[in-house]
Structure 1
Amino acid sequence: MKQHSASITAMILMGCLPISCGEEVRPVPLPPAPLEYALTIEARGDGTTAPPPGTYLHEAGTVVTVTAIPAPSADFAGWSGAASEADDAVEITVDGGKTLTAAFETATWPNEPSATYLNPILPGDHPDMNVYVEGDDFYITGSSFNIAPNVEILHSRDLIHWERVSRVVDPAWSGLEASTSAGGGTWGGFIVKVAAGYRVYFAVNFNQYFAEADSLAGPWGEPVHVEPLGPYTPPGEDPELVSFDRGTGYDDSVFVDDDGTTYLVVKAGQCKWNGLTGGEENNFGVNLLQKIDPETGQLTGETIDLSFVNWNTQNGGCGDPATDPDNAVEENWAEGPTMTKRNGFYYYFDSTHTGCGGEQVGWRSATLSSNPADWAPLGSVLKGDAPFSGAQHSSAPFQIADGTWWVFSHSYECDNSWRGLGRQGLLSQVTWMDDEGGAGVPVVNGRLGEPAPAPALPPSGIPFLLPVNDDFEQEKLSPAWTFYGNMPSDRYSVTDRRGWLRVKPAKDETRWVIQKDALHAKAMVVRMDFAPTAEGDAAGVRLGNAVFPEQELTAFPTWASAASLEVSVARVRADGGDRIRFAFRSVVPVLSADGSAYESTDATVISYDAEAPSDQVLWLKLVHGEDHQATGWFSTDRLTWTQVGEPIDISALEDYDTVNTGWVGSQAGVFASNTSADFDLFTYRDGFTGIAAAEPDQESSTEVMSSPSEGPVLGGLEDGDWAMYGSVDLGSGGVESTEIELRASSAKGGAVEVWLDPLAGGRRVATCDIPATGGWETWTTATCKVSAAGTHEVYLKAKGGSGELLRLASLRFVPGKN
């Protein structure tokens, strides 16, 4: 048996089987091995596949599923080779050697003009604007008051996105020495092109000055005083009996006629001349066109008198208090005059006043004349609506390349408790209603508080103008930063300690480094190196209005509801301890017993303290929202935060009227008292704190809706609609974004693409799927991965099928250590 078994085994090993015992053994072939073929998978562009790209051997007939996986910044463009389907997953039957290639294309933002825009185009305090147009470039100047350096010049190519070009007036200029308190400084501003370069005119103490430069980027020369023409006599009066020195005005502008003749468009005083003699009164309204010598920049003496615009209330003046006191309206005074020319007609515009309820009034003439009969009153040509029901003080209307006309105006948010932001910059289209002779009446289109058709201008890569987040790595302080009045150069530095801003007050002094506040809701964050050692030492982050010494507050007229208001989170030395203090401070003037004058001030402070950590370097955060509730926080790593005390209502700050408090809107930034403090990071809009989706800075085809559970939300989001949130810090100081959380609802499901800086060539960083939640009032938090750091414009773009896809309540980036 053993031998037989071995023989059989041998025959099997030889590939043979025994037929029968003793019979001849013949070889029998084995079954053929299964055929194998190579499947090669390739990926071209920014993406990969599953299975990953490579060459794989498969038995003939095997069906392999291959899925295309684009990177967040790319789209799957299709298959080539073994398949041509558009689906991202395909099945390949391996019946021969095959190659399958997945193609990916980098997602791009549409490179075309915006369809709509949202006011304010210039959020925050941008009063008294004048526009200068040179080819395809637009420039704006306006009033700075005591926010220095003074006379800021902004530039744009699409009228929506603006960048800082320069500031004209050094705060150390001697002409400002008597005018650096709140309400002082420089008023107005306008640009004139001259042979040698440019002149910028502005007013200080109701008199005009100009500075010159080869380029609008500067550097600017020492300001030159515009010499007045001498005493002014009202029309019809005897110059031997009636004459007053009226200076050269304030909130003036410039008008250049078709032949190049340039006029200073002057305003001084208010109301109609009341007939008084002997110098008893000189504040009557004077509105003039005064010819400018192009060589010297001075006035030539040629004057056209338009002071009649002050004579009646129906056409924007405040009437005649002497002869008709019952009908005089003293808050109207035909201010902020501008002029343009169209179809051979001159158009003159002035404002009734600068606050809520003010209007823009127009006049038209076929000739430049001092005769009132030559000028046809056009009545109110610009009257704002909620929330910008104070729209006026407009620039001269101007024309762009496609033939349309536009105008800038300013207004408080008069109807929703946000006047503290100041008079914000608004853009409006102008339609001309012409008669057969080409004489027109300008009509401002659209509602100022709602999305409107945008100018048909190429998109700009300039970020939307908001306060900047800053790591202070530059050799000079960013031009976004300003000061109250003259900040001596030895009181701050970005070179004493590279990468840090050092604020260096003297003993018993506070110094501020500030930017214009511009948002309803935000979280400001600073990283600070500071150890208070003496009682009263303090440093931190602050939001407030103009700074007033007590004597300035008590000097206000009794009709002004003046106040000095600020909220801050600071490290302080108080009562012998090292503390983190969250505080709201309000200082208001107190009337005398007879109500005739302010005689003292009354300070109210609401504050909460927490024991400071042992770390000398720490983070402070000041958060406030649409409900005017502010909170204060501190941290040692920017990841874990400790709240200081309870929320504080700061509505008194955010709804104060800047007309009554030095004309200047809210300012945000950092401060130090008594001793130096170092800051190596300032964040105006922290992306790691929730951002209300209903507060976009710009948008396309969205709608703010009310949710019973979430409050105001962003709705109406159909495929392709988007919202933009500017100046968002997505990571700094060793922390970066790892995810984004979207609070959303959806009746049928959709997706949100997250883009960073798409107008500047930025990328899509995520696509977040939003599941169907079962109804618009069923909310979920969708989370998707994002890897980003630095300051960006964040765009959220809806994607999906037809109809409304989703609504958004908030967005928040999730931090992690980098």
Structure 2
Amino acid sequence: MTRIANPVLPGFNPDPSILRVGDDFYIATSTFEWFPGVQIHHSRDLVHWRLASRPLVRAAQLDMRGDPDGCGVWAPDLSYADGRFWLIYTDVKRYGTTTVNGAKGVSLRDFPNFVVTCETIDGEWSDAVHLNSSGFDPALFHDDDGRSWMLNMLWDHRPGRGRFAGIQAQELDGAAMRLIGEPHLIFRGTDLGFTEGPHLYKRDGFYHLLVAEGGTGWNHAVVMARSRSLLGPYEVHPDRAVLTAAGSTDAPLTRTGHGDLVELADGTPWLAYLCGRPVPGRARCIRGRETAIQPMRWDADGWLRTLEGDARPMPTPSAPDLPPCPWPNAGWDGKFDSATLPPEFQWLRSPEPDRLFSLTARPDALRLHGRETIGSLFEQSLVARRVEHARFTATTTLDFTPRSFQQAAGLVLYYNSTKFHYLAISTDAGGRELQLMTASPEREECVTLETLCPLPEGVIDLRAEVDGDALRFAWRSAGAGAWTHVGGTLDATILSDEVTVPGLPNFTGTFVGMACQDASGAGMPADFLSFRYEGSAESGAVD
């Protein structure tokens, strides 16, 4: 029997929206400040998944320059109607709290919601159309009467009002691409609070509303309610949560919530949901929020439940009875010998990648143009991939000769501007040197810079080795035998949602990649000749 090893989308892949069109399954996940926006994975058997598309690729769809850490693209929703795919998403522009009288907080946030469409999942998606800004986590429901509705959580910034004010619905005119009529508050949520992530389904004469509650931490949950009318009132599920790992910080799958349902051709319901995998004994999820799936059942009372009726996540559910469909192994060899960026990689915020990097300026190299300081919210040259494993190594070969102490380039493990470990080549009057820069909310000095050692001339290899909570950096002259470890053993777990500066959003996950800065403004480039990521396999089909 084939089993699925959850998560099916390892590494930072939160807030799944799952869709079936014929024999094809798709999952769209949040990308927050990483560009291009939204990841859409494709499967035909729910076991094997491949990255099919990142649809938000140009400024007319998404421009996140200036978006704070943890903002940008939240909770996309993927649907299919009228012969085309619909993608609706939030581009969060502000996440802030202002103190009032030293106690109550006014949280003024900006949540513009947009929609794009395309006839094919991997085609050129339309320019974005703004629909509203009343709250985040938008979703579309296409009813069987031909009408479509937009749902989103309603944000209330007024002190003492709860902020998470419930789920709002408003009709969408799909031809005109605009909302019509008045918005309706259809569900205020339960006492778990933090009601968000709505999805709506119709079955046996009921509208079933699926929401996320309990916050996106250890008490996260998938909650359901139903109504005979789309606009309510909604009756809460008798078990309230249909899926949760609340109460556990060390289970194989924790923080489970924010789900979406899909039905197989035979009517079997499956739930896609986000989860976390903490480092043992540390209650910290370096890989961020990931996507898992499992079968569910509709009971005789018309309510959805897990197969065991216990509302608990399944680390290794049995695969569905579908023809196996593994994708060809298109593994990348670590060389930059193509004019396009390997699909593993993304960059931060900017819809103008040509200002950040080039794959043609130097043959067989990724050239990063030195831009703003690491952690900039506008334009920084940082190209990286998701960390998917608890144990991995990342190695890069770098040709870089800085002329100023304001110029640096190297290998970085990056969560956001307040959490990273960065091994970089820079210079002073005496020649090139290796530096270690760390940003951590747990240090008295949030950002520290340490000079490690002088470097010889020529091309340099840099390496990161992570084993659970331990990170070690190393270097050598390119291909020249043994590695020299530097900087001691570092705490990799600071690169997690659970370590935070108070008041800042922490919803992403750790990336590892290449970076280049030039604070002088001269744009000094660095050439990366290769990059390799090697991890211990932890997900996929289990026979």
TM-score interval w.r.t. the shorter chain? Answer: 0.7 to 0.9
Distance 1:444-1:578 versus aligned 2 partners, 3 A rule = farther
Corresponding position: 1:677 with 2:526: yes
Q: Return the alpha-carbon distance in structure 1 between the equivalents of residues 73 and 497 of structure 2.
A: 24
Q: Which of 275, 279, 287 lines up with 1:421 in the alignment?
A: 287
Q: Which segment drifts farther, 352-361 or 174-183?
A: 174-183
Distance 1:456-1:155 versus aligned 2 partners, 3 A rule = same
Task: Give the 5 Å matches for 1:263-302.
Answer: 263-269=149-155, 283=163, 285-301=165-181
Q: Which of 586, 609, 615 lines up with 2:452 in the alignment?
A: 609
Corresponding position: 1:251 with 2:137: yes
Q: Which of 316, 326, 338 lines up with 1:461 in the alignment?
A: 326
Distance 1:184-1:684 versus aligned 2 partners, 3 A rule = same
Q: Which of 302, 325, 334 lines up with 2:195 in the alignment?
A: 334
Distance 1:145-1:444 versus aligned 2 partners, 3 A rule = farther
Q: What's 2:116 paired with?
A: 211
Corresponding position: 1:433 with 2:282: no
Secondary structure class of the residue paired with 2:370: coil
Higher helix proportion: 1
Q: Return the alpha-carbon distance in structure 1 between the equivalents of residues 290 and 164 of structure 2.
A: 29
Distance 1:497-1:444 versus aligned 2 partners, 3 A rule = farther
Secondary structure class of the residue paired with 1:631: strand
The answer as to whether partners of 1:128 and 1:251 remain within 8 angstroms in 2 is no
Corresponding position: 1:580 with 2:438: no
Distance 1:287-1:448 versus aligned 2 partners, 3 A rule = closer
Q: Return the alpha-carbon distance in structure 2 between the equivalents of residues 199 and 483 of structure 1.
A: 25
Secondary structure class of the residue paired with 2:271: strand
Secondary structure class of the residue paired with 1:392: strand
Q: What's 1:472 paired with?
A: 336
| Letter of the 1:285 counterpart | A
Corresponding position: 1:625 with 2:487: no
Distance 1:192-1:507 versus aligned 2 partners, 3 A rule = closer
The answer as to whether partners of 1:365 and 1:376 remain within 8 angstroms in 2 is no
Q: Which of 376, 387, 403 lines up with 1:533 in the alignment?
A: 403
| Letter of the 1:183 counterpart | G
The answer as to whether partners of 2:285 and 2:493 remain within 8 angstroms in 1 is no
Q: Return the alpha-carbon distance in structure 2 between the equivalents of residues 175 and 346 of structure 1.
A: 32
Distance 1:565-1:376 versus aligned 2 partners, 3 A rule = closer
The answer as to whether partners of 1:411 and 1:424 remain within 8 angstroms in 2 is yes
Q: Which of 643, 655, 663 lines up with 2:507 in the alignment?
A: 663
Q: CA deviation at 1:270?
A: 6.4
Q: Return the alpha-carbon distance in structure 1 between the equivalents of residues 286 and 297 of structure 2.
A: 32
Task: Give the 5 Å matches for 1:784-803.
Answer: none
What is the TM-score when the length of structure 1 is the normalising length?
Answer: 0.57
Q: Return the alpha-carbon distance in structure 1 between the equivalents of residues 307 and 423 of structure 2.
A: 43
Q: Which of 382, 394, 401 lines up with 2:259 in the alignment?
A: 394
Q: What's 1:24 paired with?
A: none
Q: CA deviation at 1:413?
A: 2.7
Larger RCO: 1 or 2 (CA < 8 Å, sep 6+): 2
Q: CA offsets, 1:718-760, max 9 Å, x none? A: xxxxxxxxxxxxxxxxxxxxxxxxxxxxxxxxxxxxxxxxxxx
Q: CA deviation at 1:299?
A: 2.0
Q: Which segment drifts farther, 408-417 or 517-526?
A: 408-417
Q: What's 1:220 paired with?
A: 125
Q: Which of 209, 222, 242 lines up with 1:360 in the alignment?
A: 222
Distance 1:624-1:158 versus aligned 2 partners, 3 A rule = same
Distance 1:199-1:643 versus aligned 2 partners, 3 A rule = same
The answer as to whether partners of 1:539 and 1:670 remain within 8 angstroms in 2 is yes
The answer as to whether partners of 1:565 and 1:584 remain within 8 angstroms in 2 is no
Task: Give the 5 Å matches for 1:49-68.
Answer: none
Secondary structure class of the residue paired with 1:535: coil
Secondary structure class of the residue paired with 2:446: strand
Q: Return the alpha-carbon distance in structure 2 between the equivalents of residues 421 and 490 of structure 1.
A: 29
The answer as to whether partners of 2:372 and 2:381 remain within 8 angstroms in 1 is no
Q: Which of 130, 133, 146 lines up with 2:20 in the alignment?
A: 133
Q: CA offsets, 1:14-52, max 9 Å, x none? A: xxxxxxxxxxxxxxxxxxxxxxxxxxxxxxxxxxxxxxx
Secondary structure class of the residue paired with 1:390: strand
Q: CA deviation at 1:409?
A: 0.7
The answer as to whether partners of 2:404 and 2:426 remain within 8 angstroms in 1 is no
The answer as to whether partners of 1:256 and 1:263 remain within 8 angstroms in 2 is yes
Q: Which of 226, 240, 245 lines up with 1:379 in the alignment?
A: 240
Secondary structure class of the residue paired with 2:509: coil
Q: Return the alpha-carbon distance in structure 2 between the equivalents of residues 165 and 156 of structure 1.
A: 9
Distance 1:644-1:624 versus aligned 2 partners, 3 A rule = same
The answer as to whether partners of 2:15 and 2:258 remain within 8 angstroms in 1 is yes
Q: CA deviation at 1:130?
A: 0.8
| Letter of the 1:407 counterpart | L
The answer as to whether partners of 1:123 and 1:518 remain within 8 angstroms in 2 is yes
Task: Give the 5 Å matches for 1:477-496.
Answer: 477-486=341-350, 488=352, 489-496=354-361
Distance 1:493-1:627 versus aligned 2 partners, 3 A rule = same
| Letter of the 2:167 counterpart | N
The answer as to whether partners of 2:420 and 2:440 remain within 8 angstroms in 1 is no
Unpaired runs of 5+ residues, structure 2, are 92-109, 375-379, 519-523
Secondary structure class of the residue paired with 1:683: strand
The answer as to whether partners of 1:179 and 1:185 remain within 8 angstroms in 2 is no
Q: Return the alpha-carbon distance in structure 2 between the equivalents of residues 260 and 377 of structure 1.
A: 31
The answer as to whether partners of 1:544 and 1:567 remain within 8 angstroms in 2 is yes
Q: CA deviation at 1:175?
A: 6.2
The answer as to whether partners of 1:516 and 1:666 remain within 8 angstroms in 2 is yes
Q: What's 2:56 paired with?
A: 169
Secondary structure class of the residue paired with 1:651: helix
Q: Return the alpha-carbon distance in structure 2 between the equivalents of residues 206 and 576 of structure 1.
A: 50
Q: Return the alpha-carbon distance in structure 2 between the equivalents of residues 487 and 530 of structure 1.
A: 26
Size of the aligned set, in residue pairs, is 503
Distance 1:520-1:496 versus aligned 2 partners, 3 A rule = same
| Letter of the 1:535 counterpart | F
Secondary structure class of the residue paired with 1:117: strand
The answer as to whether partners of 2:222 and 2:257 remain within 8 angstroms in 1 is yes
Q: Return the alpha-carbon distance in structure 1 between the equivalents of residues 314 and 504 of structure 2.
A: 25
The answer as to whether partners of 2:43 and 2:49 remain within 8 angstroms in 1 is yes
Q: Return the alpha-carbon distance in structure 2 between the equivalents of residues 178 and 471 of structure 1.
A: 29
Q: Which of 484, 509, 519 lines up with 2:389 in the alignment?
A: 519
Q: CA offsets, 1:470-526, max 9 Å, x none? A: 312222223332112116322210011122110001486752111222211111011
What is the TM-score when the length of structure 2 is the normalising length?
Answer: 0.83
The answer as to whether partners of 1:546 and 1:661 remain within 8 angstroms in 2 is no
Q: Return the alpha-carbon distance in structure 1 between the equivalents of residues 291 and 441 of structure 2.
A: 29
The answer as to whether partners of 1:471 and 1:680 remain within 8 angstroms in 2 is yes
Q: Return the alpha-carbon distance in structure 1 between the equivalents of residues 466 and 24 of structure 2.
A: 36
Q: CA offsets, 1:283-336, max 9 Å, x none? A: 4613123222231232232655313x33x41xx4xxxxxxxxxxxxxxx22111
Distance 1:284-1:507 versus aligned 2 partners, 3 A rule = closer
Task: Give the 5 Å matches for 1:712-791.
Answer: none
